[in-house]
Copies of this chain bind each other. A is one copy, B any other.
Amino acid sequence: MKFKILGSGAGIPSKSRNTQSYILDVVEELNQYFLIDASEALQHRIMSTTIRPAKIKHIFITHLHGDHIFGLPGFLSSRAHQGGEGVPLYIYAPAGLKEWVELTLRTSASHLNYPIHYIEVAHNMEFDADGFKVKSYLLDHAIESYLYVFIEPDKPGALKDEQLKRLGIQPGPFYKEIKQSDTFEFDGQIYNTSEFMNPPTEGRKVAVHGDTRVIQHPDYLDLVDGSDLIVHEATYLDGEGEKAHLYYHSEMSEVQKNFSSISYGKLIFSHISNRYDQEQINSISSTLPENMLLAYDFMEITIPRDSQ
């Protein structure tokens, strides 16, 4: 599982940062990509990667501000000619997106050759994206904006084949039967499967934020707690917390402080305003502990198991 940043900027694109689009690469797990937000020039960005548009099957839109959705129509239209024929697409987004996409496709006479399923997101929902659990949480922004928490399913442990062999059971089709039920019978005796299995590997957890103020609600912190990766906005990087609050955004050090009571693997600050130049970025970046990073375009992070 990898996290890829196609656009790490806020509001208006700059030469160094495009506006927000993210990829959660679950190719190894599900042979597909989850897309989070779809800023203008998303399809142009994808051209510079090895991502095949048809392998994007679930799109999660955090909120409807233009810098998060204006690349959606172009992506949808082009996907139809880029292997997407007949490959259904699921779009999770706040109310209003469906109506806009549909009028856009109608106005531009774009005929898609695959179905789109729209899922209207609200607070505290839970979706199943091909086995991944995805939870939504309503953030604190000028308009309805969501956090999406992606939870990989636990991976069942392997059978303890030494113990099975001691009972006299040899590797073979019976192993599969054992794995599939809670108990099994051998030589007239009933056994609990759990005693013959290694513990499961816990699935990873990735929390990706839409634009928001810092949120201190315990339900929110509980939900984010234990994430292997948190991606949070930091439109303001350098001690302008009041201004950030006023404009419904976050300031980096306040995000850091807010997460001091929870555990996590890595924390990426993204959605960075383009008023910071590279020198400032470098200087701020050098003050961060090892598990915190400032996002940049085309950044790629591998999310290891048990990273926190």
Contact = CB atoms under 8 A, between A and B. Distances in A.
Contacts of A110: 65-66
Q: How many copies does the complex hold?
A: 2
Given A99-B103, A100-B103, A103-B99, A108 B44 contact: no
Interface residues of A, number: 36
A47 B97 contact: no
Contact of A66 (B48, B69, B77, B82): B77
A93 to B, nearest CB: 10
A249 to B, nearest CB: 15
Contacts of A201: none
Contacts of A196: none
Contacts of A74: 40, 66, 70
A288 interface: no
Nearest to A15: B47
Contact of A143 (B18, B64, B109): B109
B73 A66 contact: yes
A78 B40 CA distance: 12
A261 interface: no
A189 interface: no
Interface stretch (A6-14, A20-28, A232-240): A6-14
Contact of A47 (B13, B44, B71, B73): B13
A-B pairs with lowest CB-CB distance, top 3? A66-B108, A41-B41, A100-B107
Interface of A: 11-15, 18, 40-41, 43-44, 47-48, 64-66, 69-71, 73-74, 77-78, 81-82, 96-97, 99-100, 103-104, 107-110, 142-143
19 contacts: A13-B43, A40-B44, A40-B70, A40-B71, A40-B73, A41-B41, A64-B108, A64-B109, A66-B77, A66-B104, A70-B73, A70-B108, A96-B107, A97-B107, A99-B103, A99-B107, A104-B104, A109-B142, A109-B143
